[in-house]
Copies of this chain bind each other. A is one copy, B any other.
Amino acid sequence: MTELINRQWRLAARPVGNFKDTDFTWHEEPVPALAAGQVRVRNIYLSLDPTNRIWAAQDSYLPAVPLGDVMRGVAIGVVEASTHDALPEGTFVQGLLGWQLYYVGDGKGLTPITKIPGQSLLLYHGVLGAIGLTAYFGLLDIGKPKAGETLVVSAAAGAVGSLVGQIGKIIGCRVVGIAGGPEKCRWIVEELGFDAAIDYKHENVAAALASHCPQGIDVYFDNVGGDILDAALARMNNFGRVVACGAISQYTADRPPVGPSNFLLVVSKRLRIEGFIVLDYLPRAQEAIPQLLGWIASGQLKYRLDVVDGLEQAPQAVRKLFDGSNLGKLVVKVSEEPS
């Protein structure tokens, strides 16, 4: 039997600014033999997400990835060898499988997933994965929008933001998206059905929010933080809700993060700003998934994938999240999906 060789990206340095090639080192080594109760998973699709930058840089809701370890990442794979009763050979799994071709371990935290006939496993990195659950629970559970209210979402052409806006439309909100560049703005309005888009690279966001949100903002789904958060706070209605999902404008900044200077409005406008991490909602995933699948089937929910071919490409690909150049959910294809 040919010895299996693992291929890995290991974290070599704490990133400063956007990721650089030198933040990772390529590593090849034989795959170890399975101990009792272990599984070997061949990774198929690796998800690249803004939170990767947090994991690489510092302790937060998870400890920072130790330097020299395989870079942390959510992936979908297939169990190819197993001495683990609950995860037999052939099982598809999703979890923190890492930036590598083969995962070998005790399988803790891995979730078995079912291949839906006629659908790619990529669905589990899209609406059925963290992206879909983040949009669904963040908007509905934290933001609690009502029909007729105005919802604003930033990074609106991003994987999460594009779903948030569409779910907002489904439940009857006026939806305004903030995105960078005319192509993203065109996409969210013409193809996804947002009521309006603001191109933050070419428009004054505060003025555009005033014009596109004549009734003020009831729910602001924040993916970016920084100046855009400030502009949204200034336009919030009394009792408005800010869903704090992320702050991508701050992750790669070369100065300490800056808080919203309009923070005093939290009191006078009785705002609620609430953060969440999708991991906390995994136990409730079954509340969301049938509805998400239904909306996909009916065509009410669309999403784009940006699939990059080959694990070698991961360091270059992940940078696209922070320079604004990717459109849709970013995934690296690590190996072939079984047909």
CA distance A245 to B265 in the complex (A): 11
Q: Does A2 contact B (CB under 8 A)?
A: no
Interface residues of A in 237-274 (CB under 8 A from B): 238, 244-247, 250, 256-274
Q: Is the CB of B277 within 8 A of A264?
A: no
Q: Determine how many copies of this chain the complex contains.
A: 2
CA distance A60 to B246 in the complex (A): 28
Q: Does A225 contact B (CB under 8 A)?
A: yes
Q: Does A276 contact B (CB under 8 A)?
A: yes
Q: Is the CB of A260 within 8 A of B259?
A: yes
Q: Which residues on the B side are within 8 Å of A264 (C-beta)?
A: 225, 247, 250, 257
Q: Which residues on the B side are within 8 Å of A245 (C-beta)?
A: 267
CA distance A231 to B208 in the complex (A): 35
Interface residues of A in 185-210 (CB under 8 A from B): none
CA distance A230 to B277 in the complex (A): 21
Q: Is the CB of A270 within 8 A of B263?
A: no
Q: Which residues on the B side are within 8 Å of A244 (C-beta)?
A: 266-267, 271
A238 (CB) vs chain B CBs: closest residue: B61
CA distance A270 to B60 in the complex (A): 11
Q: Which residues on the B side are within 8 Å of A268 (C-beta)?
A: 54, 60-61, 275, 277
Q: Is the CB of A262 within 8 A of B263?
A: no
Q: Which residues on the B side are within 8 Å of A336 (C-beta)?
A: none
CA distance A265 to B59 in the complex (A): 11
Q: Is the CB of B277 within 8 A of A273?
A: no
Q: Does A280 contact B (CB under 8 A)?
A: yes
Q: Which of B61, B238, B246, B267 contacts A247 (CB 8 A)?
A: B267
Q: Is the CB of B266 within 8 A of A256?
A: no
A60 (CB) vs chain B CBs: closest residue: B268
CA distance A60 to B271 in the complex (A): 13
Q: Which residues on the B side are within 8 Å of A257 (C-beta)?
A: 261-264
Q: A259-B263, A260-B259, A261-B257 are in contact. Are A272 and B270 (CB under 8 A)?
A: no
CA distance A257 to B268 in the complex (A): 14
Q: Is the CB of B261 within 8 A of A61?
A: no
Q: Is the CB of A273 within 8 A of B273?
A: yes
CA distance A240 to B247 in the complex (A): 19
CA distance A260 to B60 in the complex (A): 17
Q: Is the CB of B275 within 8 A of A274?
A: no
Q: Is the CB of A270 within 8 A of B277?
A: yes
CA distance A139 to B98 in the complex (A): 43
Q: A225-B264, A247-B264, A250-B264 are in contact. Are A61 and B269 (CB under 8 A)?
A: yes
**Interface flags, A267-291, vs B, CB<8A=1, else 0:** 1111111111100100000000000
Excluding A256-B261, A259-B260, A272-B274, 6 further A-B contacts by CB distance (< 8 Å) are: A247-B264, A247-B267, A250-B264, A257-B261, A270-B274, A273-B273
17 A-B interface contacts by CB (under 8 A):
A60-B268, A61-B269, A225-B263, A230-B259, A245-B267, A247-B264, A257-B262, A258-B261, A266-B274, A266-B275, A267-B276, A268-B275, A270-B274, A270-B277, A271-B274, A271-B275, A274-B274
